[in-house]
Amino acid sequence: MKRFIKHIILLSLTAPTLTACLEEAYPGRGFTQEQLFETDNSAAALSKAIPGAMLRMGKGNGHYGYAGLFMDREAMCAEIPVYDMLYDYYQDEGFDRNYSPEYYVAIDWWPFYYELIKKANLTVGAVAINENTSTEELAHVGNALGYRAFAYYDMAFAYEYKKTGYAKLDDKAGIDKIYGLTVPIRTESTTQQEATTDRRAPFYVMYRFIMTDLDRAEKYLQGYKRSGANMMDQGAIFGIKARLWLQMGSRFEKYNADLQEQLAHENDEALAKYNKLGITTANDCFKKAAQYARLAISEGHRPLTKAEWFNSTTGFNTANDAWLLAVQINSNDMTNGSNWNWKNFVGNMSPENTFGLNNLEYKAYRMIDAGLYKGIENGDWRKNTWIAPADAGQAAAYSKYTTLYKAEDWVKLPAYTGLKFHPRSGEMKDYKVGAAVDIPLMRVEEMFLIEAEAKAHYEGLAAGKQALTNYLNTYRYDDNSYQCTATTMDGFNDEILRQKRIEFWGEGIVFFDYKRLEKAVIRHYEGSNHPTDYQWNTKAGFVAPRMNICISHYERQYNANIVNNPDPSGVHEEKK
């Protein structure tokens, strides 16, 4: 089977146009509330089915539900260089090619999100909210609204076109008038006909729509105790709100014209169905980001301990009090015909398996970026998550690391290999056990970092630095040795991004921070451990072209009103 995989990967390099033949159900064909009448499912069943949509398999190489999508995001940045690219499922992201509307990222992302939105819409439409609506039914709707907001948050920031510094892309975006546009808003009220004629919503509409969903979810989930980390509760809603307010704060601080446009539409009659944001400055957004981050923390969450981080059987595969939201997979989810034996997160991110490609046989080891690793201070106990260059191949260093391997196999792992993720229960052979894991989508550590960043803006740089220092010395440094040396806000933003890259390595978080802060993706430098063919840099002060995701060409076939982003394939800085 795995030899077959190799040929499939090679075939994808020589005949990529085959992807255009894939058959899929796309939003333009009617992901609408009309489908509710074809089922007898209760709101409870519909609500519980929403997390199942997070496991929806894609058609492209390596796509295994939402975790596969955020692996795309990691690979688009500089977070997870691969040791041997022969079995790399993310070669397109590495070679920086094939981002057009006909290829894997475009044709997998778009239907994934709208399938998730469809399930949320069905649930919302199944419950009539009135004074007689039960607390349980309200919770089902709250869960659905939370997931719908989660999906639209991702899409709004992934698909909105931002300047890249390359005229061939930026000029075309201007000619096509796509600046400021996100994605179509489809709700429980959208008809099938409307879904084939709607347009990409402007950012000032999308922000209010997402916030309205979150406000309603917060209300409906009050007092709700969820059954698992894959269901929404108020803590998760607070976390998504913190993310959204931080995004808006960064945008409005950098681009006053966008703030003025948001404010100019505050009283639009057409937008009266959405809650007003109630802000007048970027600092108002930063204050709310910090407020909701602290509320999320206060919902009984606390950062992972060192012992939890380095637990070889439960580390980063079993939800705990640090996790605000997760994908949760059990053996029953691994149905026949879906290739779960090799399309799974553990097989791609943990080297401690025999059923994937990140292992001793296929050597698609996922590593930390060498430049990032070099800057991790010795007092930071997270550093032993990755194999130090001086320790690679040295049996004497084996005891420093947490691994399921015995020393004679551990020494075969190369420098920088990540040992963060482990198979469930330490099962390295049976994928139905080892790959049946919980995968973090949002952890409370992110809230501490959002709070620190936001404080730096509205309370001053010193306040942000102090909040960051307190957090790291309390939870991540053994010797209280951390000091933030940033002297400017831009430098502080860089430090926040650095800490997120370390903390959330492999979790798909930092894509949105790179784009929000307009930071270059750097893979080509002296001592880089990215494969030579992957060493492309993007321009400082702009968004990496590949981060402006193209809409699937199938959507355009069913909706002539959709105007797409320009194809960013192969646009990057040449090596120097």
**Using one digit for the tens of pLDDT, what is the confidence trace for 245-262?**
999 999 999 999 999 999
Q: How far apart are CA 527 and CA 509, in angstroms?
A: 25
**Position 526 pLDDT exceeds 90:** yes
- Cβ density class 99-130: b for 16+ within 10 Å, e for less: bbbbbbbbbbbbbbbbbbbbbbbbbbbbbeee
Nearby residues of 267 by Cβ (< 8 Å), 6 or more positions away: none
Q: How far apart are CA 85 and CA 534, in angstroms?
A: 9
Q: How far apart are CA 310 and CA 557, in angstroms?
A: 49
| Residue 110: closest CA among 155, 64, 65 | 155
Confidence of residue 3 (pLDDT cuts 50, 70, 90): very low
Q: Note the maximum CA span of the chain.
A: 70
pLDDT tens per residue across span 527-539: 999 999 999 999 9
**Position 38 pLDDT exceeds 90:** no
Mapping DSSP to helix (H, G, I), strand (E, B) and coil, where does residue 418 land? strand
- Rounded to 5 degrees, φ, ψ at 68 are -65, -35
Q: How far apart are CA 272 and CA 488, in angstroms?
A: 40
Give yes or no for a contact between 153 and 66, defined as CB atoms under 8 angstroms apart. no
Averaged pLDDT, 306-323: 97
Average pLDDT value over all residues in the chain: 92
Question: According to the model, what pLDDT value does residue 59 have?
Answer: 63
pTM, whole model, 2 decimals? 0.93
Nearby residues of 206 by Cβ (< 8 Å), 6 or more positions away: 152, 156, 182, 183, 185
Averaged pLDDT, 362-372: 98
Confidence of residue 103 (pLDDT cuts 50, 70, 90): very high
**Position 573 pLDDT exceeds 90:** no
Pairwise pLDDT comparison (23 vs 528), residue with the higher score? 528
Q: How far apart are CA 572 and CA 168, in angstroms?
A: 12
> Could you tell me what percent of the chain has a pLDDT over 90?
87
Pick from 10-19, 49-58, 185-194, 523-532: least confident: 10-19
Averaged pLDDT, 60-68: 78
Across-strand partners of 537? Answer: 573
Pick from 43-47, 113-117, 524-528: least confident: 43-47
* CA torsion through residues 455, 543, 73, 390, sign: negative
Nearby residues of 16 by Cβ (< 8 Å), 6 or more positions away: 98, 103
Nearby residues of 240 by Cβ (< 8 Å), 6 or more positions away: 146, 149, 150, 153, 214, 442
| Residue 64: closest CA among 55, 51, 75 | 55
Question: According to the model, what pLDDT value does residue 70 have?
Answer: 94
Counts of helices then strands in the chain (DSSP H, E): 22, 2
Across-strand partners of 573? Answer: 537
Pick from 4-18, 173-187, 400-414, 427-441: least confident: 4-18
Q: At what angle do helices 510-517 and 135-159 cross, to 10 degrees?
A: 50
The number of beta carbons lying within 10 Å of the beta carbon of residue 14 is 7
Averaged pLDDT, 358-364: 97
Mapping DSSP to helix (H, G, I), strand (E, B) and coil, where does residue 439 land? strand
**Residue extents of the structural domains in the chain:** 43-308+500-558
The number of beta carbons lying within 10 Å of the beta carbon of residue 23 is 7
pLDDT tens per residue across span 315-338: 999 999 999 999 999 988 887 666
Across-strand partners of 380? Answer: 477
**Position 288 pLDDT exceeds 60:** yes
Averaged pLDDT, 14-34: 36
Question: According to the model, what pLDDT value does residue 61 have?
Answer: 55
Give yes or no for a contact between 407 and 398, defined as CB atoms under 8 angstroms apart. yes
Distances (CA, A) of 523 to 99, 169, 377, 402: 18, 22, 21, 28
Q: Which residue matches tokens 């489908």? A: 35
Q: How far apart are CA 360 and CA 54, in angstroms?
A: 29
**Position 28 pLDDT exceeds 50:** no
CATH number, span 43-308+500-558: 1.25.40.390
Half-sphere exposure of 440 (CA within 13 A, CB side): 30
For 319, the token pair is: 């939800």
Question: According to the model, what pLDDT value does residue 18 have?
Answer: 27
Question: According to the model, what pLDDT value does residue 40 have?
Answer: 43
**Position 60 pLDDT exceeds 80:** no
Question: According to the model, what pLDDT value does residue 576 have?
Answer: 60
Confidence of residue 57 (pLDDT cuts 50, 70, 90): confident
| Residue 358: closest CA among 303, 272, 417 | 417
* CA torsion through residues 44, 24, 553, 27, sign: negative
Give yes or no for a contact between 434 and 340, defined as CB atoms under 8 angstroms apart. no
Question: According to the model, what pLDDT value does residue 11 have?
Answer: 35
**Position 29 pLDDT exceeds 50:** no
For 436, the token pair is: 């049946």
Averaged pLDDT, 82-107: 94
Q: Which residue matches tokens 């040992």? A: 419
Question: According to the model, what pLDDT value does residue 8 have?
Answer: 39
DSSP-assigned states of every residue in 499-561: HHHHHTTTTT-HHHHHHHHTPPP---STT--S-GGG--B--TTS--GGGSPPPPHHHHHH-TT
**Position 56 pLDDT exceeds 60:** yes
Pairwise pLDDT comparison (279 vs 19), residue with the higher score? 279
Q: How far apart are CA 291 and CA 162, in angstroms?
A: 28
pLDDT tens per residue across span 173-204: 999 999 999 999 999 999 989 999 999 999 99
For 104, the token pair is: 């894997």
pLDDT tens per residue across span 455-495: 999 999 999 999 999 999 999 999 999 999 999 999 999 99
**Position 289 pLDDT exceeds 70:** yes
Give yes or no for a contact between 142 and 149, defined as CB atoms under 8 angstroms apart. no
Pairwise pLDDT comparison (575 vs 2), residue with the higher score? 575
Confidence of residue 348 (pLDDT cuts 50, 70, 90): very high
Averaged pLDDT, 428-452: 97
**Position 143 pLDDT exceeds 50:** yes
**Position 423 pLDDT exceeds 50:** yes
Mapping DSSP to helix (H, G, I), strand (E, B) and coil, where does residue 355 land? coil
